[in-house]
Structure 1
Amino acid sequence: MAINLQKGQRISLEKSNGSKLQNICVGINWGAIEKKGMFGFGKSKEAVDLDASCALFNENKQLVDVVYFGSLKSKDGAVKHSGDDLTGDMGGDDGLDNEVITLDFSQLNPAVNYVAFVLNSFRGHDFGTIPFASIRIYEGTPKRVNEVFATYDIANGSGFAGHVSMVMGVFYKKNGEWKFNAIGEPTKDKKLEETVNTVTQSYL
């Protein structure tokens, strides 16, 4: 059952056979900006540094932990970051994710009630200027995609131009069941800390 959520849709993470989803990945694939040379001769590539991050909150919406390029694993070991990609694809779209964050619900600290995924453009490159940038939130592992929940095309999607930060989505626990809210909203924030504050105020 392929689910491709639109912005703002929510789903339960229980599969049709009654089993629960355990392993979730958030993958980001993007390209460097191509610039024309002087007088139109030649082309150069400008590196783009997008940063996927994950913020964990308790039921009182207090921040418990943040996984990002400077801290690649949550304290409980449930969330892992593949590492910082500072450039994007320099030779065109290779179809592979440049950064992946994995989430294993079975290892998650029981006190965690919300797991939010955000994206920031570290050097302030406007999403609208990046030649391609797509996000996939899916069940599986970085090497095996079982089922995609949500995809966002932030290079071409309306509303993303003029922004350097966004909230991708939030997993939240309700009556002991994990559900997913596909947010996909750009924010006016410039830095990760500001984006985490926006999540706390508006998306939990």
Structure 2
Amino acid sequence: MGINLQKGQRINLQKGNGTVLQNVCVGVNWGAIEKKNWLGGIDKEAVDLDASCILFDEAKNNVDVVYFGSLRSKDGAISHSGDDLTGDMDGDDGLDNEIITVDFSKLNSQVTHVAFVLNSYRGHDFGTIPFASIRIYEGTPSRVNEVFATYNIAKGEGFSGHVSMVLGVFYKRNGEWKFNAIGEPTKDRKLEETIKTVQQKFL
């Protein structure tokens, strides 16, 4: 591992010592929008980004969704830290605002694809957010072992003008899990639309 993936790259989850990576986290960190007011001061506008995880079977059927309204998968393999409605209000604290954790050893055997997406709930353009980054890493919410994909969507080229994106997809081939770093913004406005985009374009 130990590599920072670019968009479109694929890796398997086998580590250098021969063991297979089991616990993966997707963390999203972002800040509230700062606007000057008529008095010359700064007003803060809360930003609600939503990280979600969709599980698909071999026929590309959506079998489960983990998001702010359902924080745990039916098989108990995936959990969500909870909905952050504001982002960092006092500058970047360096901590993830939302984290989704996956334990591949507990996943329902029917699941062949695990997709991660991000939606701006109130429709804030990614390009207007002062900082917003995503990292996909091995470890737990309190311990980062190795980061293997990062995206800077506030400063990243192509994200301005969009309010949703597909982060990446874990997929099972010949019994082994691999990862496709997608990092593509989409035209979708709602999670339901982003799920259909994943089904049609990225599985």
**Same fold, judged at TM 0.5 (above):** yes
How many percent of aligned residue pairs carry the same amino acid? Answer: 78
TM-score, length basis structure 2:
0.99
* Equivalent in the alignment of 1:108: 107
> Mind listing any 5+ residue stretches in structure 2 that lack a counterpart?
none
Shift of 1:16: 1.1
* TM alignment of 1:1-204, pairs within 5 A: 1-38=1-38, 41-204=40-203
Shift of 1:2: 1.5
Q: Distance in 2 between matches of 1:48 and 1:42?
A: 19
Cα RMSD for the two superposed structures: 0.6
> Mind listing any 5+ residue stretches in structure 1 that lack a counterpart?
none
Shift of 1:66: 0.3
Shift of 1:61: 0.7
Shift of 1:57: 0.2
Which residue identity does 2:33 align to in structure 1? Answer: I
Q: Distance in 1 between matches of 2:31 and 2:64?
A: 29
**3-state DSSP class of the match of 2:113?**
strand
**3-state DSSP class of the match of 2:199?**
helix
Q: Distance in 1 between matches of 2:3 and 2:177?
A: 16
Q: Distance in 2 between matches of 1:144 and 1:2?
A: 15
**3-state DSSP class of the match of 2:99?**
strand
Q: Distance in 2 between matches of 1:50 and 1:190?
A: 12
Q: Distance in 2 between matches of 1:47 and 1:169?
A: 26
Q: Distance in 1 between matches of 2:64 and 2:53?
A: 8
TM-score, length basis structure 1:
0.99
Q: Distance in 2 between matches of 1:191 and 1:38?
A: 33
